[in-house]
Structure 1
Amino acid sequence: MDLNLRGKIVVISGAAGKEGSIGETILQRLGEEGAIPAVIDRNSRGFDYVKKLQQKGVDAVFCQTDVTDPEQIEKALNTISKKYGRIDVVINNVGVNDGVGLDGSYEEFMNSLKLNMVSYFMIVKYALPFLITSKGNILNIGSKVALTGQGRTSGYAASKGGVLGLTREWAVDLIHYGIRSNAIIIAESWTPSYDTWIRTLPNGEEKLKSIIEKIPLENRMTSTDEIANACLFTISDRSSHTTGQFIFVDGGYVHLDRSLLTDE
């Protein structure tokens, strides 16, 4: 199915993670669909990713940006808008489960909010005039932690809860402009960061096995390709009457009856 993304200017934050991360996978899929990715990330890997896309004939741009700094975000959006004259989609993908719990300081908690939620607000704020012109759309990458909790990660949980609130608020606020706003909610997906976390645990193999056993559909983790596919469909005009939705790409992890996980 042609998603009609060719030539669309797609601003995506947090797409310069390690190869195989959710953001990097979405970035590669955007290139394959002929979209024009405009990457906002603080990691210099973004330069290499964009260079490789350009070598394949894909137009792309990287703006190295600390998304906790509003001035840097504004500068990045100015650069993108001046280069292309339009913005069609914003994908807010930044997310770091930083473990800032109740024992964290005020500064640590606020920094978690700035990275994981406030950056979403600021990127949309500066992209909005262009989204209004293009009747574009917004896609926020969320987490099941906003709905289930996790423990010892108040900053991340609060941020991701706020992201879901913003998703619905923007869907209402911008509906008269024809702008759609949705969120993809992820549960357990195998990424480089997940691998790093598992390796820090003394019983990592056992922990991983117990997690996988709790995923109802096929008892496996969601692949980043599956997440990217859902993202691209949602931002495309093939999903043109979908707004204000929380789309779960989680193998039934959050909602399905736990009795599915018991042996008969």
Structure 2
Amino acid sequence: MNLHLQDKVILISGGAKGIGGAISKGLIEEGAIPVIIDPSEKEGKELVELAVGKALHLPWRLFSAEDCEKAVLEAVRAFGRIDGVVNNAGANDGVGLEKGSPEAFAQSIANNLHHYYSLVHFALPELKKSQGAIVNISSKTAVTGQGGTSGYVAAKGAQLALTREWSVELLPYHIRVNAILPAEVYTPMYESWIQTFPNPEEKLAEINHQIPLGKRMTTPEEIASMAIFLLSNRASHITGQHLYVDGGYTHLDRAL
């Protein structure tokens, strides 16, 4: 299936590793031009080399609105257009209700949410021209809870709300907005978390056993496939949706 993404310019926050890296690689394979906003220099360089120069790596974190504006300006300066935005960067930082503080909670939300808004805000004039698409990477924790991570979950829930809000606001411009909710995805960050347990292999087997479809985790490439489809005009009448790519983890009986 031709997704008609040739030479489409897509901004991806956290686009060098894990889910974001898989999305960048998949876009390169489709002939698109990823703008990879991620401080991971080695991985970013490798992706640009894979794209034979038809990619841009911006090696910084989106700590401020100014960082987001600079990323948009660099993308437009390099390629003259923006056709899509993938909001992906963030971290489950463990700022909970008991083990946390109002200050840490506010900072967690800022780190995981504010750049989602700012990147789209500054990219919007270009998205209006291209009638582009926005994909927000959220998390199943926004609907199930997890415990001990209030800031991250509040941000993820807000991302789902913004997906619906933006899909309404941007209807006149034919800009589609959708969200993907991963559950258990074995990324480098996830592996680091697994290694904190006394018996990592046992913990990993326990989690895998709870995933209904195939008793395995979702791969980053499977999340990427959905994101790339949603960015393409093959998804031309899909907007305002929350899509679960999780092997049935969120909704099916895990006793299955």
Q: CA-to-partner distance for each residue in 1:101-138, whole Å, 9 max, x for gaps?
A: 12213332222112211110000000001001110010
Q: Does 1:241 align with 2:226?
A: no
CA distance 1:76–1:149, change in 2 (3 Å): same
2:201 & 2:55 partners in 1: Cα distance?
39
1:211 & 1:228 partners in 2: Cα distance?
22
Q: CA-to-partner distance for each residue in 1:40-86, whole Å, 9 max, x for gaps?
A: 123333541344134xx351111223212111111111111122221
In structure 2, runs of 5+ residues without a counterpart are none
In the other structure, the counterpart of 1:88 is 83
In the other structure, the counterpart of 2:64 is 69
Q: What is the alpha-carbon root mean square deviation over aligned residues?
A: 1.4
> Following TM superposition, by how much is the alpha carbon of 1:25 offset from its aligned partner in structure 2, in angstroms?
1.1
- Whichever residue aligns with residue 7 of structure 2, its letter is G
The 3-state SS of whatever aligns with 1:12 is strand
User: Percent identity, aligned pairs only?
Assistant: 50
Contact 2:36 2:44 in 1 (8 A): no
Q: Does 1:198 align with 2:194?
A: yes
In the other structure, the counterpart of 1:114 is 110
> Following TM superposition, by how much is the alpha carbon of 1:95 offset from its aligned partner in structure 2, in angstroms?
2.0
Contact 1:87 1:131 in 2 (8 A): yes
User: For residues 11-160 of structure 1, what are the structure 2 equivalents within 5 Å?
Assistant: 11-17=11-17, 21-45=18-42, 47-54=44-51, 57-102=52-97, 103-160=99-156
1:78 & 1:139 partners in 2: Cα distance?
20
> Following TM superposition, by how much is the alpha carbon of 1:26 offset from its aligned partner in structure 2, in angstroms?
1.0
- Whichever residue aligns with residue 12 of structure 1, its letter is I
Q: Does 1:5 align with 2:19?
A: no
2:42 & 2:89 partners in 1: Cα distance?
15
The 3-state SS of whatever aligns with 2:195 is helix
In structure 1, runs of 5+ residues without a counterpart are none
Contact 1:117 1:160 in 2 (8 A): yes
Q: CA-to-partner distance for each residue in 1:162-191, whole Å, 9 max, x for gaps?
A: 100111100011011100000111000111
Between 1:225-234 and 1:101-110, the stretch displaced more is 101-110
TM-score by structure 1 length? 0.92
The 3-state SS of whatever aligns with 1:219 is coil
Contact 1:14 1:93 in 2 (8 A): yes
Contact 1:92 1:120 in 2 (8 A): yes
Question: What is the total number of aligned residue pairs between the two structures?
Answer: 255
Contact 1:36 1:60 in 2 (8 A): yes
The 3-state SS of whatever aligns with 2:127 is helix
TM-score by structure 2 length? 0.95
1:112 & 1:49 partners in 2: Cα distance?
30
> Following TM superposition, by how much is the alpha carbon of 1:23 offset from its aligned partner in structure 2, in angstroms?
0.9
In the other structure, the counterpart of 2:247 is 251
> Following TM superposition, by how much is the alpha carbon of 1:224 offset from its aligned partner in structure 2, in angstroms?
1.1
Contact 1:13 1:94 in 2 (8 A): yes
Contact 1:46 1:62 in 2 (8 A): no
CA distance 1:233–1:47, change in 2 (3 Å): closer
- Whichever residue aligns with residue 164 of structure 1, its letter is L
